Chain A
Amino acid sequence: MDGMDGPRAAARAETGAGIGFAGVTVAYGGAVALADFTLDVRRGEILALIGPSGSGKTTALRALAGFALPVAGRVTIAGRDVTGLAPAARGIGMVVQSYALFPHMRVAENVAFGLAARGVAKAEQRARALACLRLVGVEGLAERLPRQLSGGQQQRVAIARALAIRPEVLLLDEPFSALDAQIRRAMVEEVGRLHAAMPELTILHVTHDQTEALSLAHRIGILRGGRLEAAGESRALYQTPPTRFAAEFLGRANLLPVEVLGVENGAAMVRFGTAVLRARGGAGRGRRLLCVRPHALRLHQAENGFAARVDGVRWQGETHALDLVAGDTRVHLTSSALREPPRPGTMVTVGFDPADAPLLDDA
Chain B
Amino acid sequence: MTRSWRGPGLGAPALALPALGLLASVVYPLALTAPTALGGGAPGRVFATSWFQAAALHTATIALAATTGCILLALMLGLVFAFLPFPGAGLVSRAIDTVIALPTFLVALAFTFFYGSAGVVNEALMALLHTDIAPLAFLYTKWGVIMIEITVYTPFVLRPLLAAFAQIDPAQLEMASSLGAGPWRIVRGIILPAALPALLAGGSLCLLLTVNEFGVLFFIGARGVITLPLLIYDKAIQEFDYPAACAVALANVALSLSLFALYRAVLRRLAADADV
- Chain A positions within 8 Å of B, measured between CB atoms, are 26-30, 62, 66-71, 87
B2 near A67 with CB under 8 A, answer no
User: CA–CA, A38 to B4, complex, Å?
Assistant: 20
Residues in A with CB closer than 8 Å to B5 are: 66-69, 87
User: CA–CA, A68 to B4, complex, Å?
Assistant: 5
User: CA–CA, A138 to B224, complex, Å?
Assistant: 74
Least CB distance, B79 to chain A, in whole angstroms? 34
- Chain B positions within 8 Å of A, measured between CB atoms, are 1-5
User: CA–CA, A71 to B1, complex, Å?
Assistant: 7
A28-B4, A67-B4, A70-B2 given; 19 more Cβ-contact pairs under 8 Å: A26-B2, A27-B1, A27-B2, A28-B2, A29-B1, A30-B1, A62-B4, A66-B5, A67-B5, A68-B2, A68-B4, A68-B5, A69-B2, A69-B3, A69-B4, A69-B5, A71-B1, A71-B2, A87-B5
Cβ-closest chain B residue relative to A71: B2
Least CB distance, B81 to chain A, in whole angstroms? 29
* A-B contacts, CB under 8 A, total: 22
22 example contacts (A-B, Cβ-Cβ < 8 A) are as follows: A26-B2, A27-B1, A27-B2, A28-B2, A28-B4, A29-B1, A30-B1, A62-B4, A66-B5, A67-B4, A67-B5, A68-B2, A68-B4, A68-B5, A69-B2, A69-B3, A69-B4, A69-B5, A70-B2, A71-B1, A71-B2, A87-B5
Residues in A with CB closer than 8 Å to B4 are: 28, 62, 67-69
User: CA–CA, A70 to B3, complex, Å?
Assistant: 8
Residues in B with CB closer than 8 Å to A67 are: 4-5
Residues in B with CB closer than 8 Å to A68 are: 2, 4-5
Residues in B with CB closer than 8 Å to A71 are: 1-2
Least CB distance, B97 to chain A, in whole angstroms? 26
Least CB distance, B265 to chain A, in whole angstroms? 23
Least CB distance, A199 to chain B, in whole angstroms? 31
Residues in A with CB closer than 8 Å to B2 are: 26-28, 68-71
B1, B2, B4: most-surrounded residue (chain A CB, <10 A): B2
User: CA–CA, A66 to B5, complex, Å?
Assistant: 8
Residues in A with CB closer than 8 Å to B3 are: 69
Cβ-closest chain B residue relative to A88: B8
Least CB distance, A61 to chain B, in whole angstroms? 13
Least CB distance, A329 to chain B, in whole angstroms? 38
